[in-house]
Amino acid sequence: MTSLLHKPVFFGFLHILILLLHMFYFSSSLAAFAQDSSSTATIFGTAVSAAKSRITGGNSTEAEALLKWKASLDNQSQSLLSSWFGISPCINWTGITCDSSGSVTNLSLPHFGLRGTLYDLNFSSLPNLLSLNLQRNSIHGTVPSGTDNLPKITELNLCDNNLTGSIPSEIGLMKSLNILYLCGNILSGPIPCEIGKLTSLSLLSLSANNLTGVIPFSIGNLTNLSLFHLFQNQLSGPIPSSIGNMSFLIDVQLQQNNLTGFIPSSVGNLRSLSILYLWNNKFSGSIPGEIGLLESLNDLDFSSNNLTGAIPNSIGNLTNLSFFHLFQNQLSGPIPTSIGNMSMLIDVELGQNNLIGSIPSSVGNLRNLSIFYLWRNKLSGSIPQDIGLLKSLYDLDFSSNILTGEIPNSIGNLTNLSFLALYDNHLSGPIPSSIGNMSMLIDVELDENNLTGLIPSSIGNLKNLSFLYLGQNNLYGYVPSEIGKLKSLEKLIFAENKLRGSLPLKMNNLTHVKWLDLSYNEFTGHLPQELCNGVVLERFIACNNYFSGSIPKSLKNCTGLHQLRLDGNQLTGNISEDFGIYPHLDYVDLSYNNFYGELSLKWGDYSNITSFKILNNNVSGEIPAELGKATQLQLIDLTSNHLEGTIPKELGGLKLLYNLTLSNNNLSGAIPSDIKMISSLKILDLSFNNLSGSIPKQLGECTDLLLLNLSNNKFTNSIPQEIGFLRSLQDLVLSRNFLAQEIPWQLGQLQMLETLNKAVMPTEQVVAVKKLHRSQTEKLSDFKAFEKEVCVLANIRHRNIVKLYGFCSHAKHSFLVYEFIERGSLRKIISSEEQAIELDWMKRLNVVKGVGGALSYLHHSCSPPIIHRDITSNNVLLDLEYEAHVSDFGTARLLMPDSSNWTSFAGTFGYTAPELAYTMKVTEKCDVYSFGVVTMEVMMGRHPGDLISTISSQASSSSSSKPPISQQTLLKDVLDQRISLPKKGAAEGVVHIMKIALACLHPNPQSRPTMGRISSELATKWPSLPKEFDTISLEDLFSHAVSVVD
């Protein structure tokens, strides 16, 4: 036990003894070594000194410089650098690296959260610094010019800080720089041209700053550069052609600037280039063909510029390209077929250009394609069947083109597709049933085409579908019950088709639908009763159908409802009970139904409602004063109900209201003077009520009024002269009241009251007034002759000519007084979607007959003949029975045959005969030409300018007596598409009248028929069709048009 206890002592003593022997041996050896070689001693001394230097931290000047900088930072930053203390930066100082001599070579503190400036960092004290990386901190202030005291530095990275000011020109002295990153700051001013001296640079990023000026030409000296980023600045001017010298470039990103000029052809020298981004600049000109030399290119984006010309065929050489963006330019020409060579393509976006021609079938070679956007171009032809080979496609958008033909059945092969947009084309035929194979679809947009047939039941397979747009087609039949399987649907649009029957009960399963549009179809039966069980419905549009029954009770649950349109149905129910509280409701239209009951006070609680329309129902009671609390209201239309009581003065608080229409009710009392407070009011129609008292002079304060209709009431006293202050007023109707006889002269100041309007008449008769401007009356040098002329015109009596009652002259103003025609101008009716649909083919044929008869009367039954000289759709008015009346003889003259006493051009552009461009001689054939234009406009539903230009240009190059038509345009394709094709009876009339119209448009006036002959042709029985209506072309019409010429 004793020996064991003393064993540690013994071993400790032994260890000390051995150590002393070693020290004695080492000192003896060292002495001997020193005597043998003094040079060896020097080397050893140096080694010891170096070791000591490493232990103590090397250059104390460097430590002092770093500590001084640390002290300039904020407290939190200083705490992050707590390891920085003493005089030894090479020992455990965070972010510091030293070389073998103990000198600092790297200062790297990226993503560190440091706050401060670089002003107190003395770069001259860090002569051996190779790398400075302070990326993604909060360093502010300017880039210090002292960085040029870093002769050895190869990397300077100050990206993603808050540096301001300009890039110092001294940066050009840092000749050893290999990496220069100043991106993501707030630097401004130009890029110094001295940057071209940094010939060792391989990586340069100045992106995401506010740099201005041009890219210096000296940039081309950086021939070792591989990465070149200047994106997201405000640089201007062209890309210097010297960029072609930078042959090692791999990644060039200059997007999001204001660069202009052409893309230099010298980019073709950059054979190593992999990424070229120039998007969102202002480049113009064409894409250089040399782009096809960049065979290493992976990503190419020239989108959002002003590039023109065709896509060069050489683009097909870029067989490694995966990302190809040219969208939002002005490129024209076809998509080159060589695109099929680019088999590595993943993303192709060529939308928003002017590309023409067909989609090349070679796109079927792009088997890796994931995104394919060609939207908003002018592409025509059919969608190639080869599209079905692109089985990797995820997004496909060919919308807003002129594509025709059917959707290929092969599209069902695209089983990975999630987004399919073909809307706004001319596609026809059915929706292919193969669409049911595309189970990954989320968004299908096929609206605004000419698709026909049934909605395929296979659509029920698309369980992931969120958006289904089928509106504005010619789809017919019933909605398949399988639609109820699409439980993820958020938007469902069936609008403007020919769908019919009751909605399937399974539509009640669509509890996630936010937007449901069933409008303009032929649906019958009840609305879906559980429509809003999901409480998410925001927009419900079911207008212009044949729905009946009551509003679904579940609609009260739709607290998120924004828009509700049920107008134009046969719905019934108590309007005061069927609605809940909808805090977000902004638009409601319940017009043209059979709703009854009284308006609820809670309509005033809808603080976001802008439009409130319940016209043509059976609503009774008073207008609630609470409606004045709905201060966002812009339109109120309660026309044709059974409302009674007074107009609540609270409506005066609706500052945004521009349309207040309460006509055809039983309202009584006076117009509240508070109405003057509605400063935005443009339309005020209170006609056909029992309103009484004086017309309030305060109406003169509603200075934006365009229409004021107070007719058919019980107003008394004088017309207030303040009405004359309404300088924007275009329509003023005060007829059928008990007003005083005087018309205040101030009404003559209404400059906008210059077209045919309902006049202010104290009698029961309604007339129209055309005011002549002072300049027009001043031209009446021979007033007596004009007065005589008007008297002659006033004696004209024809059922299709507006009666001219006379001419009223005043010291300041003059007026022509006409018969009032209720429906207004033909142009207005054709321009309105709703009214144009009412103008069916038989009504249109009668309009043409009426105009023809009127002109025949003027030309052949008046002595001397009268030439109208301004026949337009604006000067043809329609009455309540759609009978045509030719109007506006304010420019007409009485001419002897062959007279040419007009010396200045008059008429309306687009309607005047072509010979008036070179001769001022006006003949009846000028009216014949204008009649042809108006006839075509009636049939086409729009001005036929383009068609006339084609006819005229072909006629000028033809020696034949009849102008040819080169293209086999079908008649059915030029007719008004808003109404269905004419049926038997009307079809013969349309063909016959179109033949007459084409004959009237002959460029040679002598080859046009007379109005007498035309009127005769219009009165005869229409000849049978030579072939099926939908196969008749315009050329067919031309071949027979000459038969109506005398």
Closest CA to 936 of 914, 955, 922, 951: 951
Tokens of 239: 């890309």
Q: Containing H/E element for 1038?
A: helix 1034-1041
Distance CA 858, CA 597 (A): 55
Amino acid present at 468: L
Q: Please, which residues have CB within 8 angstroms of residue 317's CB and are 6 or more apart in sequence?
A: 292, 293, 295, 338, 341
Residue tagged active-site, from 424, 447, 637, 870:
870
Q: What is the DSSP letter of 424?
A: S
Are the CB atoms for 1029 and 991 separated by under 8 Å? yes
Which residue blocks in 693-782 are alpha helix, DSSP H? 774-778
Q: Please, which residues have CB within 8 angstroms of residue 500's CB and are 6 or more apart in sequence?
A: 476, 477, 478, 521, 522, 523, 524
Q: Please, which residues have CB within 8 angstroms of residue 867's CB and are 6 or more apart in sequence?
A: 858, 859, 892, 893, 895, 922, 923, 924, 926, 927
Pairing of strands 498-501, 522-523: parallel
Q: Provide the 10 A C-beta neighbour count for residue 1013.
A: 18
Distance CA 512, CA 532 (A): 9
Closest CA to 274 of 322, 214, 327: 322
State how far the alpha carbon of 999 is from the alpha carbons of 933, 992, 994, in Å: 11, 11, 9
Distance CA 554, CA 535 (A): 9
Q: How would you class 797 by CB atoms within 10 Å of its CB: exposed for 0-12, middle for 13-18, buried for 19 or more?
A: exposed
Query: Helices then strands (H, E): number in the chain?
Result: 16, 58
Are the CB atoms for 613 and 588 separated by under 8 Å? yes
The three-class DSSP label of residue 903 is coil
How big is the chain by its Cα radius of gyration, in Å?
A: 42
Distance CA 100, CA 108 (A): 18
Distance CA 662, CA 643 (A): 9
Print the SS3 string covering 30-63: HHHHHHHCHHHHHHHHHHHHHHHHHHHCCCHHHH
DSSP assignment string, 133-184:
E--SSEEEEE--GGGGG-TT--EEE--SSEEESPPPGGGGG-TT-SEEE--S
Distance CA 895, CA 843 (A): 33
819 forms beta bridges with: 767
Are the CB atoms for 554 and 530 separated by under 8 Å? yes
Which residue blocks in 191-344 are alpha helix, DSSP H? none
Q: What is the DSSP letter of 941?
A: S
Is 704 labeled as catalytic in the residue annotation?
A: no
Distance CA 871, CA 932 (A): 10
Distance CA 80, CA 140 (A): 18
> Looking at the annotation, which residues are catalytic?
870
